[in-house]
Amino acid sequence: MVGMKFHPSRDLSAGVLLIAAPSPRPVDTKARLDFPVQEGQIRAEAVVRYIEPGNRLGFKFTAVIEQDSPHLAALLTRLRSLSRSRGKP
């Protein structure tokens, strides 16, 4: 399992995270994700589901540390609010 620390991109949903990675990982690679956000620390397990041009990896969350789940929910709420304020669906 690969460990990765990063700051999340705007491409985040309840189950999927899209990030730019310096070195792409093959599809189905398991990873431990650890990212600090203003809502608090978020630690999760994920698997690479797809690779986009430019070394962007699509991760699907497979587990989130229980005490970090509220942080993830708050982050998603904030990102949705930002998206709506910019006129995006």
* pLDDT string in tens for the chain (89-residue length): 555 555 455 566 667 788 888 787 899 999 998 888 889 999 999 999 988 888 888 899 999 999 999 998 898 888 888 777 776 55
pLDDT of residue 14: 60
Q: What is the pTM of this model?
A: 0.72
Token pair listed for 40: 């608090």
| pLDDT at residue 20, as a whole number | 81
How far apart CA 74 and CA 45 sit, in angstroms, is: 19
For residue 77, the model assigns a pLDDT of 87
H-helix segments, 1-89: 69-85
